[in-house]
Amino acid sequence: MSVSVEDIWQAMKNGRGNNVDWFSEQTPAAALAATLTAMANSQGGTVLMGVAGPTATPMGVRDSESTIDRVLQAALSIEPPLIIPLPRVMLLKGQSIVVVSIPRGMPHVYSFDGRYLQRQGENNIPLKPVELRRLIIERGEASFETEVAPAASLDDMNWEKAEAYAASLSGLGESDSRKLLIKRGCLAMENGTLRPTHAGILLFGKDPQRHIRGAEITAARFAGETMSDTFSRQDILGTLPDQIRRAETFMVDHLRKGVHIRHTMAREESFEYPLEAARELVVNAVAHRDYSINGNGIRLFIFRDHMEITSPGGLPGPVTIDNIKDERFSRNPAIVQVLSDMGFIERLGYGVDRVIDLMRQQKLRAPEFEETAGGFRVLLRNHGIEAKIEEESATENTVHFKGAYKGVEINPRQEAALVYLHTAGNTRITNSDLQELCPDVHAETIRRDLVDLVTKNILQKMGQKRGSYYVLKRD
């Protein structure tokens, strides 16, 4: 953590807080150790030795080497010993100040004199039991995923899925599904009885949400740029592999596409975000979220101008916003391993670089990462796609409705139908016509989409049964 003289002056001007404190040279080592402990268990920070009083007056230290030694001794008195960068000496108004930096995302949970402390404003306060447990899990010193799930038994496991998983890994030389799940941390012995762990329930359970509240994805598509009363929503439940697949289906159905039907009637599409990038972010959220946080799930929200994925729990271990591209740490290594076995993620990399590259290839901005009060959010912006579509439309005589028609939200299949009807020479559309435009969609879904356009007063149905077709409803 590198700080400049200007940073120090600004910190002193802002006053004591979560990440800044200062002490005189005579401050007892115990008080210093308590503050170092609290900052290490929080978001890190800076401690200044040789600054006094509420007005942050630089008094300096008489012997900087001795002061540095006292700081390091205070850090080593913490349990486990707090390893920090060597303190630096800086001059403020001609006074020697010792600057102590506590990096963010320390690897352990620390205590001093038997107390686990955290920073709250300028105070060092005890961690509550639930906060301590969460921090222990977050920093990898205990694992929620490998704890036995309370009240769960082997009867709560979907053994067909477990057997299929074991069969897919037959090359590892372990064909017994129970032995394999023990190795993967999905089953564990408790009081002589084999039982599912949280990871086992999440990956292979019959009803994971009954045992782990909030282990789900809430997916929604909003018509505008903020949350409103106009939206399509789906609560995605089931095992983690099933959730990933269903979330991808939701995105395919609800992400806007640049739909082009040229004079040759060839149809081309491009999603407003690279689908692989969006899928990678969902997989990351599912694999790395904090499942010990009950009652709060992953949120996949798609808006007119951006898409955001929010997952419970802060960044794990030493991972920060600044090093997220390079640092590798997972709070759920068992879940990561099984999802990797299933082909969902790469074990050695968590896809951030890949997402950035895919966005750049589509001439979109890099993803934005943000830590929230209770979690972590990734945001993708689609700025640039509309200009690209409009430019192509001008040259190709194509039509694009940008997810809405006369103020009414439409899905990508309905958009394709309306593009078809606005193409010269097309005055009607049938179920078969739309099926040809969307060959991977079930016929019943196609029928419902056209009926929905009738309900929305956009299309009018003509004819009966097999001879029926749809035309644009005239004002």
Note the pLDDT tens digit of each residue in 178-206.
999 999 999 999 999 999 999 999 999 99
- For 203-253, what is each residue's pLDDT tens digit? 999 999 999 999 999 999 998 888 888 788 999 999 999 999 999 999 998
The pLDDT assigned to 82 comes to: 93
Return the higher-pLDDT residue of 374 and 302: 302
Question: How far is the C-alpha of 132 from the C-alpha of 145, rounded, in Å?
Answer: 17
Name the fold adopted by 147-394.
Answer: Heat Shock Protein 90 (3.30.565)
Is the model more confident about 406 or about 20?
A: 20
Question: In the CATH scheme, what is the homologous superfamily, with its name and number, of domain 5-127?
Answer: Schlafen, AAA domain (3.30.950.30)
Residue 311 scores a pLDDT above 70 = yes
pLDDT given for residue 394 in this prediction:
44
CATH of domain 401-472: 1.10.10.10
- The percent of residues in the chain predicted with pLDDT above 70, rounded, is 91
* Domain residue extents for the chain: 5-127, 147-394, 401-472
**Which band of pLDDT confidence, cut at 50, 70 and 90, is reported for residue 397?**
very low
Query: If you average pLDDT over every residue of the chain, what do you get?
Result: 86
Q: SS3 letters for 328-386?
A: CCCCCHHHHHHHHHCCCCCCCCCCHHHHHHHHHHCCCCCCEEEECCCEEEEEEECCCHH
DSSP state, 467?
Answer: G
CA separation for the pair 214, 103 (Å, rounded): 32
Give the gyration radius of the chain's Cα atoms.
Answer: 28
**Identical fold at 5-127 and 147-394?**
no
Give pTM, 2 decimals.
0.64
Whether 44 and 105 have beta carbons less than 8 Å apart is answered as yes
